[in-house]
C-alpha cells in the first residue's frame, strides 16, 4: 500500500469514528436526557422529553455551525491540521466523559448539560472538518479522496444509530462512554498521518479575502446545501411518511431508510474515482437532476417494495453527486485556503440538513406529503438546471478539472 493510500484509509477511519460517535446518542435520546436530569428540571426547555431532546441536539448542532469556520481559519493561518484535530477530538471526548459523570456528580443542572453540549459541538466539528481538509490535501485524485470521506460519513451515519440503540438498552450512559473512548482513539490515530503544511501562512483577513475572490465556490456550496436538505427531509418527514402511508413499524421503516444509506455509503469511493476520470459536471448536474427525479419517485411509489426500489435508486444517485461536489471544492479552492473552504462547505451542509427538517415538516404539516416531496425533489432538479451556465463558464476557465477530470488521478 502506498503512503498516500494508507493516509487516505486512516483519515477516512477518523471521519467514520467522529460521525459514528455522534450518531450513537440519537436512538436513546429521550432516555438519555432524562438520565441527565431533564425530568427533574423545571426549565421551559424541558417541558416535555421531546423538548429536552431537541435542545440537547440543537445545542451541539448550533455550536458546530458557529465554530466550523473558526477551525478552518486557524488551520489555514498556521498551515497545520493535525494539532487542531487532536485538540478538537480530545476536548470533545472530555465533554462526553463529563456528561457521562453528570448523574454521579449530581450538581449540574440541565442548563449546564446544554452548555457542555455547546462546548462539545464547538470542538467535535473541528476534528471532523479538518480531517476532511487533510483528505483534500492528499494527492491521488480529489474525487477519490472525497469519495473516501463520503463512504466514511455514510457508514458512520448508517451504523452509529443502530449500535447506539443497542448500547442504550445496556445503559443509557453507555453511548457517551463509547463516544468518549472513540474520540480519544481518533486523537491518537490522526497523528500517524503526515501533516503537510501549506506553503506559507496567511492572515485571517487574507484568507477570507481569498475565498471571497472565488465566487465559484458558491456552486458546490449550493449543491451541498440542497443535497443535505434532502437527507434531513428523509430523516424526519420521510420517516413519518413511510409509517403513515404504508402503516409500517419502526423496524420496517429502518429497512427502507437502509435501502438509501447502504448504496449511498458504499458507492461513494468508486463514484468519486469516476468523477476524477470524467470530470465533475456530469456527475453533479446530470446526477442531481436524476436524484431529484428519484425523490419524486419515492413520493409516488404505491407500495413498500416499489418505495424500496426507488430508495435504492436515490442512494445510488446520491453517491454519484456527493463526492463530486466535495471534490469540486478542492478543485476551486486555493491550496492555502482549503481549511476555510471546506468549513464553508460543511456550514452550508449543516444549514441544509436543518432546512430539510424545517421545510419538510412545515410543508407536509400544512399541505401534505405529496407537496413536500414535490418541493424537495423539485429544488434538487431546479438547482441543477440553474447551475448549468455556471458549469459551462467554469469548464472553459483555467481549471479544466471540472470537465476533464483531476490530473492527479
Question: What is the chain's pLDDT, residue by residue, as a tens digit (409 residues)?
Answer: 677 888 999 999 999 999 899 888 877 777 888 898 887 776 767 777 767 877 887 788 788 888 988 998 888 888 888 999 999 999 999 999 999 999 988 778 888 999 999 999 999 999 998 998 898 888 877 788 888 888 888 888 778 877 888 888 889 999 999 999 999 999 999 999 987 655 555 555 655 565 566 778 888 888 989 988 888 788 768 877 888 899 988 678 778 888 888 888 889 889 988 988 988 888 999 999 999 999 999 999 999 999 999 999 999 999 999 899 988 888 888 777 777 888 888 888 878 877 887 788 788 888 999 999 999 999 999 999 998 888 777 664 444 455 545 545 4
Provide CB contacts within 8 A for 400, sequence distance 6+: none
The CATH number for 141's domain is 1.20.1250.20
Which 3-state string (H, E, C) describes the chain? CCHHHHHHHHHHHHHHHHHHHHHCCCCCHHHHHHHCCHHHCCCHHHCCHHHHHHHHHHHHHHHHHHHHHHHHHHHHHHCCCHHHHHHHHHHHHHHHHHHHHHHHHCCCCHHHHHHHHHHHHHHHHHHHHHHHHHHHHCCCCHHHHHHHHHHHHHHHHHHHHHHHHHHHHHCCCHHHHHHHHHHHHHHHHHHHCCCCCCCCCCCHHHHHHHHHCCHHHHHHHHHHHHHHHHHHHHHHHHHHHHHHHHCCCHHHHHHHHHHHHHHHHHCHHHHHHHHHHHCCHHHHHHHHHHHHHHHHHHHHCCCHHHHHHHHHHHHHHHHHHHHHHHHHHHHHCCHHHHHHHHHHHHHHHHHHHHHHHHHHHHHHHHHCHHHHHHHHHHHHHHHHHHHHHHHHHHHCCCCCHHHHCCCCC
Same domain, 192 and 298: no
Same domain, 171 and 233: no
Q: Which range of residues forms the domain containing residue 51?
A: 3-201
Same domain, 295 and 190: no
Q: Quick check: is 175 in a domain?
A: yes
Grid cell at residue 190: 490522526
Same domain, 171 and 303: no
Q: Quick check: is 408 in a domain?
A: no
pLDDT of residue 407: 46
Q: Quick check: is 409 in a domain?
A: no
Same domain, 130 and 73: yes
b/e for 297-310, b at 16 or more Cβ within 10 A?
Answer: bbbebeebeebbeb
Provide CB contacts within 8 A for 202, sequence distance 6+: 76, 77, 210, 336
Q: How many domains does the chain have?
A: 2
pLDDT of residue 73: 85
Of 167, 201, 235, the domain-final residue:
201
Same domain, 80 and 171: yes
Residue from 155, 151, 153 nearest 128 by CA: 153
Same domain, 102 and 237: no
pLDDT of residue 359: 84
Same domain, 239 and 220: yes
pLDDT of residue 317: 95
Q: Determine the Cα–Cα distance for residues 47 and 41; give it in Å rounded to an integer.
A: 9
Residue from 366, 75, 324, 382 nearest 202 by CA: 75
Same domain, 268 and 342: yes
pLDDT of residue 207: 53
Q: Quick check: is 71 in a domain?
A: yes
Q: Quick check: is 70 in a domain?
A: yes
Same domain, 237 and 347: yes
Grid cell at residue 295: 425523490
pLDDT of residue 382: 94
Same domain, 231 and 195: no
Same domain, 80 and 169: yes
pLDDT of residue 209: 64
Q: Quick check: is 309 in a domain?
A: yes
Q: Determine the Cα–Cα distance for residues 15 and 189; give it in Å rounded to an integer.
A: 11
Q: Determine the Cα–Cα distance for residues 350 and 287; give it in Å rounded to an integer.
A: 21
Q: What is the pTM of this model?
A: 0.75
Q: Quick check: is 207 in a domain?
A: no
368: left (phi over 0), alpha (psi -120 to 50) or beta: left
pLDDT of residue 210: 57
Q: Quick check: is 118 in a domain?
A: yes
Amino acid at each position: 500500500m502506498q503512503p498516500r493510500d494508507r493516509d487516505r484509509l486512516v483519515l477516512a477511519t477518523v471521519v467514520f469514528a467522529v460521525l459514528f460517535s455522534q450518531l450513537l446518542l440519537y436512538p436513546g435520546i429521550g432516555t438519555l436526557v432524562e438520565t441527565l436530569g431533564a425530568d427533574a428540571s423545571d426549565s421551559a426547555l424541558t417541558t416535555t422529553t421531546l423538548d429536552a431532546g431537541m435542545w440537547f441536539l440543537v445545542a451541539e448542532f448550533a455550536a458546530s455551525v458557529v465554530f466550523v469556520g473558526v477551525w478552518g481559519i486557524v488551520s489555514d493561518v498556521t498551515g497545520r491540521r493535525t494539532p487542531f484535530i487532536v485538540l478538537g477530538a480530545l476536548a470533545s471526548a472530555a465533554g462526553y466523559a463529563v456528561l457521562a459523570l453528570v448523574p454521579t456528580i449530581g450538581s449540574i443542572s440541565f442548563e449546564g448539560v446544554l452548555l457542555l453540549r455547546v462546548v462539545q459541538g464547538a470542538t467535535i466539528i473541528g476534528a471532523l472538518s479538518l480531517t476532511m481538509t487533510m483528505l483534500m490535501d492528499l494527492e491521488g485524485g480529489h474525487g477519490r479522496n472525497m469519495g473516501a470521506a463520503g463512504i466514511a460519513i455514510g457508514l458512520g451515519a448508517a451504523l452509529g444509530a443502530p449500535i447506539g440503540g443497542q448500547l442504550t438498552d445496556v445503559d443509557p450512559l453507555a453511548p457517551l462512554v463509547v463516544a468518549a473512548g472513540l474520540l480519544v482513539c481518533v486523537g491518537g490515530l490522526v497523528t500517524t498521518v503526515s501533516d503537510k503544511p501549506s506553503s506559507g501562512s496567511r492572515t485571517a483577513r487574507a484568507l477570507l479575502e481569498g475565498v471571497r475572490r472565488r465566487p465559484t465556490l458558491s456552486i458546490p456550496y449550493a449543491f451541498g446545501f440542497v443535497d443535505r436538505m434532502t437527507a434531513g427531509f428523509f430523516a424526519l418527514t420521510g420517516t413519518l411518511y413511510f409509517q403513515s402511508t404504508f402503516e409500517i413499524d419502526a423496524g420496517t421503516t429502518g429497512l427502507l431508510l437502509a435501502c438509501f444509506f447502504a448504496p449511498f455509503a458504499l458507492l461513494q469511493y468508486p463514484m468519486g474515482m469516476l468523477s476524477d476520470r470524467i470530470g465533475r459536471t456530469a456527475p453533479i448536474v446530470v446526477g442531481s437532476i436524476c436524484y431529484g427525479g428519484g425523490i419524486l419517485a419515492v413520493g409516488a411509489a404505491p407500495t413498500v417494495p416499489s418505495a424500496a426500489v426507488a430508495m435504492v435508486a436515490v442512494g445510488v444517485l446520491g453517491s454519484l453527486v456527493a463526492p463530486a461536489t466535495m471534490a469540486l471544492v478542492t478543485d476551486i479552492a486555493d491550496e492555502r485556503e482549503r481549511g476555510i473552504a471546506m468549513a464553508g462547505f460543511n456550514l452550508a451542509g449543516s444549514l441544509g440538513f436543518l432546512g430539510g427538517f424545517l421545510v419538510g415538516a412545515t410543508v407536509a404539516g400544512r399541505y401534505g406529503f405529496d407537496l413536500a416531496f414535490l418541493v424537495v425533489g423539485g429544488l434538487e432538479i431546479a438547482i441543477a438546471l440553474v447551475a448549468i451556465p455556471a458549469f459551462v463558464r467554469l469548464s472553459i476557465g483555467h481549471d479544466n478539472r471540472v470537465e476533464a477530470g483531476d490530473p492527479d488521478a
